[in-house]
Amino acid sequence: MKRVQVFFLFMVLMIFSITAVACGGTSTSSNPPADKPEDADAKVDLSYVTEQIEQYKTLPEFRAPGEPFDAKAVMKGKSILSIPVSSANPFTENIEVGMKKVAEEIGFEFTEWSNQGQPSQWVQGMNHGLNQKYDLIDLLGGTNPSVLQPQVEAATKAGVKVVSTHLSGFEQEIPYVTENLGIDYNKAGRLLADWTILKTDGKPNVLVISSNEVVSTESIVNGIKDEFQQMCPSAKVTYVNVPIPDWSTKIQSEVQSAIIRDPELNYIVPIYDSMSQFVVPAIETTQSADRVKIATFNGTPFVLDFIRQGKVEMDIGENLDWISRAIMDAEMRLIAGLPFVDNENIPLYIWDESNIEKAGNPAQLSTGYGDAYLEGYNKLWGISK
């Protein structure tokens, strides 16, 4: 494993293990329940899942999240402090880079509160934001408001807006903050189910690997369950929870055992694609690559390279630079007193062997998604070049 991959995994393990209550071990459950519908064995209509997959293999288009506004006028003299889950996490740090770029283009004060993922450091950041009278404090990508209740409440009482971003699905409620900016994690889960239904001709036998302590997991897994129940109730699906600190020690053994135990297993769905680095060795060790495929979510570059190498079949990606601009757009609107846009409006994009070369070789962050969003946001903010 390359050094950068080891470092990335280490930081992810550390980060998420402190952001929510851990589940305490590995557990399994099956879907559908014993009382499956009478028509569960009926032939599955593949037209809908085919349409969904093809829709998300189309290059993303920009959709304005709201009415245009004069961003430079709105943000004159304003300031935003962003507290990422960890400055050492490449995912959130690259979003921070994009947010800083937007602040420079618009012309306002933007500060990242550097930290190593410790809640005590988040507390220090909140206190700094309050004491320095920032207009808005952004809690990015896993900085959990639930462990910052006193600080968030003190900030909002003093008139400082607090926004949690890229943390939850649309349907999940995040307490204490002024606003929560969600993304469609539920849809990502549905697409993962759709892919396995389509590729197995309506006969999916799937092992889903989750980490239930992560806030977004509930939304993704609910999407998977609902889609199978609606579109393919005869699907055989097993759910295994592996808390993030256990990824390196338990995922490979769980997958190997599942493959050996069930010779008809045909898909592994690790809901966060960095899990794939432990799934791939399990498939290779059991020599089952011909029958067991991987479909996953996030679009992390080293996993996109796995697609090129034939080790992962599909990955649902999201453009981090696009995320940066979506967050800035919503937060500037909130500062301006405009209607808050609680949807990041981040398009999901399916990567597979047919388009993987667009991601670069090796794959690069925010590459291959097109640049329509750049012109779109510039026009929206009145800074067209």
Q: Each residue of 71-106: pLDDT tens digit?
A: 999 999 999 999 998 888 777 888 999 999 999 999
CA distance 72 to 381: 8
Give me 335's structure tokens. Answer: 């500062």
User: Within the chain, which residues score under 50 in pLDDT?
Assistant: 1-41
Note the pLDDT of residue 160: 98
CA distance 132 to 380: 30
pTM score, whole prediction: 0.82
Note the pLDDT of residue 42: 59
Q: Each residue of 169-205: pLDDT tens digit?
A: 999 999 999 999 999 999 999 999 999 999 999 999 9
Note the pLDDT of residue 11: 45
Which regions of 113-226 does DSSP assign to beta strands (E)? 136-140, 161-169, 179-183, 205-210
Residue 189, H or E segment? helix 185-199
Give me 142's structure tokens. Answer: 């896993």
CB 42 within 8 A of CB 233: no
